[in-house]
A and B are shown apart, each in its own frame.
Chain A
Amino acid sequence: MKAIGIILAGGNSERLKNLCKVRAIAAMPMAGSYRAIDFALSNMSNSGITKVAVITQYNSRSLQDHLSSAKWWDLDRKEGGLYIFTPFLTSSNNFWFRGVADSIYQNISFLKRSHEQYVVIVSGDAIYKMDYNKIIDYHIQKGADVTIVSQNCEGTSRDVHDYGVMTCDENMKITSFEEKPIEAKSSNISLGIYVIKRSLLIKLLENAIPKGYYDFVKDIIRRNMGKITMYGYMFDEYWNTLNSVEAYMQTNMDFLKPEVRRMLVTEPFIDSKPSDDPPAKYNSGATVKNALIGTGTIIDGTVTNSVLFRKVFVGEGSSVNNSIIMKSSYIGKGCRIENAIIDKEVVVGDGKEVIGEPDNPIVIEKGVVL
Chain B
Amino acid sequence: MRKKEMMAMLLAGGQGSRLGILTMDKAKPAVAFGGKYRIIDFPMSNCVNSGVDTVGVLTQYQPLTLNKHIGIGMPWDMDTKYGGVSVLPPRQTEGEKGSWYSGTANAIYQNIDYIDAQDPEYVLILSGDHIYKMDYAAMLAFHKKNNCDVTIAVLEVTLEEASRFGIMNADENDKIYEFEEKPAEPKSNLASMGIYIFTWKELRKALIADNALHADSDFGKHIIPAMLDQGKTLYAYRFKDYWKDVGTIESYWAANMELIRTLPEFNLYEDFWKIYTNSDNQPPQYTGPDASVRTCIISEGAQIYGTLEHSVISKNVVIEEGTYIKDSIIMEGCVIKKGSVLDRCIVDQNTVIGENVRIGEGDNIPNDRKPKIYNTGISVIGSNTVVPDNISIGKNCVVYGKTKPEDYADNQLASGQSVIIEEASL
Q: Do the two chains bind?
A: yes
A-B contact sample (20 more), CB < 8 A, given A71-B79, A265-B283, A281-B296: A269-B280, A269-B283, A276-B274, A276-B277, A278-B268, A279-B312, A280-B299, A282-B293, A282-B297, A283-B262, A284-B262, A284-B294, A290-B288, A293-B285, A293-B298, A294-B284, A294-B300, A295-B282, A295-B284, A308-B284
Point out which of A293, A307, A309 has the most chain B C-beta atoms below 10 A from its C-beta.
A293
Instruction: List, in ascending order, chain B residues with CB within 8 A of A293's CB.
Output: 284-287, 298
Tell me whether A279 and B36 are in contact (CB under 8 A): yes
Size class of the B contact interface (CB-based, 8 Å)? 35 or more
CA distance A289 to B304 in the complex (A): 10
Quick one: CB contact mask for A5-36 with B, threshold 8 Å, 1 for yes?
A: 00000000000000000000000000111000
Tell me whether A32 and B284 are in contact (CB under 8 A): yes
B68–chain A nearest beta-carbon distance, Å: 16
B250-300, CB < 8 A from A: 260, 262, 268-269, 274-277, 279-300
Residue of A nearest to B45 (CB): A276
Tell me whether B283 and A33 are in contact (CB under 8 A): yes
B45-91, CB < 8 A from A: 74-75, 79
Given A282-B298, A283-B262, A284-B295, the answer on whether A275 and B284 have CB atoms closer than 8 Å is no
Tell me whether B281 and A289 are in contact (CB under 8 A): no
Instruction: List, in ascending order, chain A residues with CB within 8 A of B282's CB.
Output: 33, 272, 274, 295
A219 at the interface (CB under 8 A from B): no
A232 at the interface (CB under 8 A from B): no
B296–chain A nearest beta-carbon distance, Å: 5
Tell me whether A276 and B34 are in contact (CB under 8 A): no
Q: Can you list 21 A-B contacts with CB-CB less than 8 angstroms, sorted by A residue number? A: A31-B283, A32-B284, A32-B285, A71-B74, A265-B283, A271-B281, A272-B282, A276-B274, A276-B277, A278-B268, A279-B34, A279-B299, A280-B299, A284-B295, A288-B291, A289-B287, A293-B286, A293-B298, A294-B285, A295-B299, A295-B300
Instruction: List, in ascending order, chain B residues with CB within 8 A of A32's CB.
Output: 283-285
B313 at the interface (CB under 8 A from A): yes
Chain B residues with a Cβ under 8 A of chain A: 34-36, 74-75, 79, 260, 262, 268-269, 274-277, 279-301, 303, 312-314, 316
A299–chain B nearest beta-carbon distance, Å: 9
Q: Which of A276, A286, A289, A291 contacts B294 (CB 8 A)?
A: A286
Q: Which of B260, B279, B286 contacts A261 (CB 8 A)?
A: B286
Given A71-B74, A274-B279, A286-B293, the answer on whether A281 and B269 have CB atoms closer than 8 Å is yes
By secondary structure, the A interface counts as loop
Tell me whether A280 and B279 are in contact (CB under 8 A): no
Instruction: List, in ascending order, chain A residues with CB within 8 A of B294's CB.
Output: 282, 284, 286
Tell me whether A280 and B297 are in contact (CB under 8 A): yes
Tell me whether B281 and A279 are in contact (CB under 8 A): no
A264 at the interface (CB under 8 A from B): yes
